[in-house]
Amino acid sequence: ITNHAYAYDKSESDVLAEDVAIIKPQPIILSVTKVADKAEYTNDDDEITFTMTAANRGSGDAESVNLLDEIDKLIGSNGNALFMTWKATITELKSGVVVSVDSDNNVNSNHTLKAYQGNEFEIVVTGEINQGIDDNFTNVFTAAASTGETASANVTIKVKKQAYNEGMLKVTKVASKSEASVGEVVEYEVVITNENDNPFSGVRLVDRYPGGFAYIPDSTEMVNSGPDGVFDTSDDIQITVEPTKTNQLFFDVGDMNIYGKGDSQTADAVRIRYLMRVSVGATFGVYTNTAWAEAPPAESFSAQNTSTNYVVKSNLASATVEVMPDKVFDTASIIGKVFEDHNGDGFQADATADDVLIDIDLALGDYVPNSTFIIQDGVETQLKDVTGK
């Protein structure tokens, strides 16, 4: 394209000056854009959407233009990927035709971009935000023609999404009675609640019980409240579990999830009930059971951490029971008498003795005949001697 410019004198029609500019149309001029649906993302957000467009403003068609967005390179400083999963949809805008839909793969496809924006491609990537993210991310979208022309656009976002197991759980513990005697059964109830904005995974309850108490097998009842966070409702989940017993009880609780957002947010709560018997070895006094929740640390959910250790993730909750003397076996008095059952009939016979014979071994001539007397109730009675004795 040649463009001429002249300066001349109107009266004499003489050209005073002239200049020429030659414009050579570029066959390929790539044009790309990239935006995010928000600038910052928090625990209230579940997804991020990136929208990109690509077109050719040049005078010639661009064949095999590579559209590239490397989603899998969006990695936080702790090694956690920005997205747990994502979906990319490519649409040709002028026709409205969906060209492709792909999941969990980078955008990496080739298309013909027609001259003078004869067509335009839109790429929408929607990803589910991962846990444990606190970083700025810059995502770059690039279009590259096979003839060497390139164009790129980027967007930077701030993402702060708490990881699993951040913060502390709350544990409460009560006993069904405050006093018990040897042989009696005590029911304990422990409730674990999550007042944080993030879920917990791999939770277990540890109960340290005192000597003199014994767990009754198959007595555990564990209930997860479900999404409403309230026990004894239709969404409760009954969990069959028996504790691991050492000098402590270990109950595997599992995951405690979060539901909803903001003021409508609810969280799983877990209630554990179990029975313990006061054993014969228990002495009188106060006995305390202490329970707490444990879980892997938040850092263990980082891609750079392989630790599986448990750490304390709650307050310590206690319940006390006083072992008291048994009213029958420990404090009772037995009143009665002992007798010898000569005839074996199980009853005490009349205590009257008949035909009592007194036999005294004396040397002959030492005894004075008829000199034996018995005194009963102050009355003296002479006893007759038995002939030959």
As given in the structure block, the two tokens for residue 152 are: 């790129």
Neighbours of 280 (CB within 10 A): 9
* Residue 108 amino acid letter: N
Among candidate residues 198, 166, 189, the one with its CA nearest the CA of residue 311? 166
* DSSP states along 54-85: EEE-SSS-EEEEEEEE-GGG-B-TTS-BSEEE
- For domain 30-161, give the CATH number: 2.60.40.3880
Contact by Cβ (8 Å): 203, 254: yes
Residue 88, phi then psi, degrees to nearest 5? -115, 125
* pTM, rounded to two decimals: 0.57
Per-position DSSP letters for 152-201, written without gaps between them: EEEEEEEEEEPPTT-S-BEEEEEES-SEE-TT-EEEEEEEEE--SSS-EE
- Give the SS3 label for residue 26: coil
Same fold: 30-161 with 170-323: yes
CA–CA separation, 282 vs 288, rounded Å?
Answer: 13
Task: Classify burial at 24, counting beta carbons within 10 Å of its beta carbon; exposed 0-12, middle 13-18, buried 19 or more.
Answer: exposed
For residue 307, the model assigns a pLDDT of: 57
In the prediction, which pLDDT does 382 show?
A: 85
**CA 264/CA 198 separation, integer angstroms:** 14
What does the alpha-carbon distance between residue 268 and residue 258 come to, in Å, rounded to a whole number?
7
Query: How many Å is the Cα radius of gyration of the chain?
Result: 48
d(CA 371, CA 105): 131
The confidence score (pLDDT) of residue 388 equals 61
Q: Which amino acid is at 326?
A: D
Query: Domains of the chain: which residue ranges?
Result: 30-161, 170-323
Given the candidates 1.10.10.60, 1.10.10.10, 2.60.40.740, 3.40.50.300, the CATH classification of the domain at 170-323 is 2.60.40.740
Predicted confidence at residue 168, as pLDDT, reads: 95
Please give the pLDDT value at position 152. Answer: 97
In tens digits, the chain (389 residues) has pLDDT values of 677 777 777 666 676 677 877 666 678 999 999 999 999 998 778 899 999 999 999 999 999 999 999 999 999 988 889 999 999 999 999 999 999 999 999 999 999 999 999 999 999 999 999 888 889 999 999 999 999 999 999 999 999 887 788 899 999 999 999 999 988 999 999 999 999 888 898 999 999 998 889 999 999 999 999 999 999 999 999 999 999 988 899 999 999 988 876 677 789 999 999 999 998 878 889 999 999 999 998 777 655 555 568 999 999 999 999 998 765 555 556 677 777 777 777 777 776 767 777 777 777 777 788 888 888 888 888 888 776 64
CA–CA separation, 44 vs 31, rounded Å?
Answer: 34
- Identity of residue 116: Y
Residue 217: phi and psi, rounded to 5, are -55, 145
